[in-house]
Homo-oligomer: A and B are copies of this chain.
């Protein structure tokens, strides 16, 4: 049960995702009709629904790939962080933010975020929550690393701090994707300014 059939399955998954990603970008999420995605992926509408529960899950698959890339990129920073708390945070969060619009338009992010809060129990909703948790864990890992290196105070509540930093960044990012004219540089500057308060409190 894992020869040709599995390969074709993977292939159809890929074709659907690629077609959808292109159409979401060009026509927007709402503008991309399932029928069009099916045609471009050379499968039938029914097949798409055989692979994904609903339109949102297709977007979800695309978003997941993106976030996983970001998580990967972040590993390097955690392993080898810059030698002070402020730069370390800025570098890690910078990676998250700079990568964010590589494959996904702001509109796609808006839709993805909306769906994940609208249907937290759908496959995508759960996956999205898991990704958020993974990002929080990575920030926490960075903090732990900085503490271990003697760059951050040891008596700070690391887990709480990690979540706090993530939550703030995430909310700033949400506002960022809501305003089409917002610029990445300004987003990063605003977050840096906020984190400065924390950095002052925790730098060893």
Contacts and interface: CB of A to CB of B under 8 A. Distances in A.
B164 A197 contact: yes
A171 B178 contact: no
Contact of A194 (B115, B164, B171, B174): B164
A193 B114 contact: no
A198 interface: yes
Interface stretch (A67-75, A79-87, A94-102, A155-163): A155-163
Nearest to A133: B175
Interface of A: 110-111, 113-115, 117-118, 120, 125, 129, 156-157, 160-161, 163-164, 167-168, 170-172, 174-175, 177-179, 190, 193-194, 196-198, 200-202
Given A114-B117, A164-B194, A168-B168, 19 more contacts: A110-B118, A117-B174, A120-B178, A129-B175, A129-B178, A157-B193, A157-B196, A157-B197, A160-B196, A161-B194, A164-B168, A164-B197, A167-B170, A167-B172, A171-B171, A197-B198, A198-B198, A198-B201, A200-B201
